[in-house]
Structure 1
Amino acid sequence: MNQDIQFLIELQQELKNQDSDGQAAPRFWTVGDYEWVEAREENAERYSVYLPNIAESYVLDDYLEEIKEDSELSKEVQTELQEIEEDYDDAIEWIQKYIDEGAELIPERKVHIIQPNTMFLTKVEAKRHIRLNKHHYTSEAHTYAMTAWRALKVERLLNILETFEWKSIETSK
C-alpha cells in the first residue's frame, strides 16, 4: 500500500508540473507520426512505383537510384535510364519497357497520424515509449498531446490524481 501511495504522490507531481503542449485539461499523450498515403496527382509530394510481377512498391527515386547502382542491364539500357531526369512519365515508360510492363506510378503525400493503441498519462512516459519502441515508428515519431474533450470521468479522475492529499491516507506498516 505504501508503494502505491508513493506512486500516486510522484504521479501527482509529474501531472502538475509537466508541459501541457497547449492542450486544455484533461489531457493525455499519444504517439504522433507520419505515413505516406496515396494522393491525387496534384497533391503528390513523391511517387512510388508498383511492380505487379513481384507485388512490391518502391519509392520511385530510390528505386531508380538502386537500378542505376546495382543493375545488370546492358550499357544501352543503362544509358537510356541515365538520360531520364525528373520526368516521371519517362521513368515509368522505361520501367514498363525493361522491368515490369504492368508497373504503375502511385502519387503519394505525407500525412500526420496518431498511432493507435497509444495513451499515456504523462509526456515523459510517452517519450520513453517512443525511445524503447522506435523500431515500430518512423524517425519522425513524437509525443502528441490530446484533450479528453467532454470525457467527464477522465476529467474527474485526473482532477483527483492532481489534487488529492495522498499523504492524508494512513497506511499500516
Structure 2
Amino acid sequence: MNQDIQFLKALQNELKTQDNDGQAAPRFWTVGDYEWVEAREENAERYSVYLPYIAESYVLDDYLEEIKDDSELSKEALTELQEIEDYYEDAIEWIQKYIDEEAELIPERKVHIIQPDTMFLTKAEAKRHIKLNKHHYTSEAHTYAMTAWRAPKVERLLKILETFDWKSITVSK
C-alpha cells in the first residue's frame, strides 16, 4: 500500500510539473508519426511503383537506383534508364518495358498519424516508450499531446491525481 501511495505522489508531482505542449486539460500523450499514403497527382511528394507480378511496391527513386546494380539487364536497357530516370512518366514506361508491363506509378504524400494503441499519462512515459520501441516507428516518431475532450470521468480522475492531499492519509502498518 505504501509503495502505491509513493507511486501516486510521484505521479502527482509529474502531472503538475510536466510541459503541457499547449494542450488543454485533461491531457494525455500518444505517439505521433508519419506515413506515406496514396495522393492525387498534384499533391504528390514522391512516387512509388507497384509491380503486380511480385505484388510489391517500392519508392520509385530507390527502385531505380537498385535496378542500376542489376547485372541481368542488358546494356541497352541500362543506357536507356540513365537517360530517363529523372522523368517519372518515362521511368514508368521503362519499367513497363523491361520489368513488369503492368507496373503502376503511385503518387504519395506524407501525412501525420497518431499511432493506435498508445496512451500515456505523462510525456516522459511516452518518450520512454518511443525510445524502447523505436523499431516499431519511423525516425520521426514523437510525443503528441491530446485532450480527452468531453470525457468527464477521465477529467475527474486526472484532477484527483493532480490535487489529492496525500498528507491527509494515514497508512497503518
Q: TM-score range by the shorter chain?
A: over 0.9
Report whether the alignment pairs 1:82 with 2:82: yes
Aligned-residue CA RMSD (Å): 0.8
Distance in 2 (CA, whole Å) between partners of 1:55 and 1:167 is: 63
| 1:85-100 paired onto structure 2 within 5 Å | 85-100=85-100
Distance in 2 (CA, whole Å) between partners of 1:10 and 1:73 is: 64
| 1:15-30 paired onto structure 2 within 5 Å | 15-30=15-30
1:140 to 1:71, Cα distance in 2 relative to 1, 3 A: farther
Structure 2 residue runs of 5 or longer lacking an equivalent are: none
Query: What is aligned with 1:58?
Result: 58
TM-score (norm 1): 0.98
| 1:33-44 paired onto structure 2 within 5 Å | 33-44=33-44
Moved over 4 A (4+): none
1:88-110 CA distance string (max 9 Å, x none) = 11000000000000000000000
Distance in 2 (CA, whole Å) between partners of 1:122 and 1:115 is: 16
Q: Which amino acid is 1:47 matched to?
A: Y
Query: What is aligned with 1:122?
Result: 122
What fraction of aligned residue pairs are identical, expressed as a percent? Answer: 88
Report whether the alignment pairs 1:7 with 2:7: yes
Q: Which amino acid is 1:69 matched to?
A: D
Aligned 8 A contact 2:64 2:85 in 1: no
Moved more, 81-90 or 49-58: 81-90
Distance in 2 (CA, whole Å) between partners of 1:161 and 1:32 is: 25
TM-score (norm 2): 0.98
1:122-168 CA distance string (max 9 Å, x none) = 00000000001111111100000001111111111000000001132
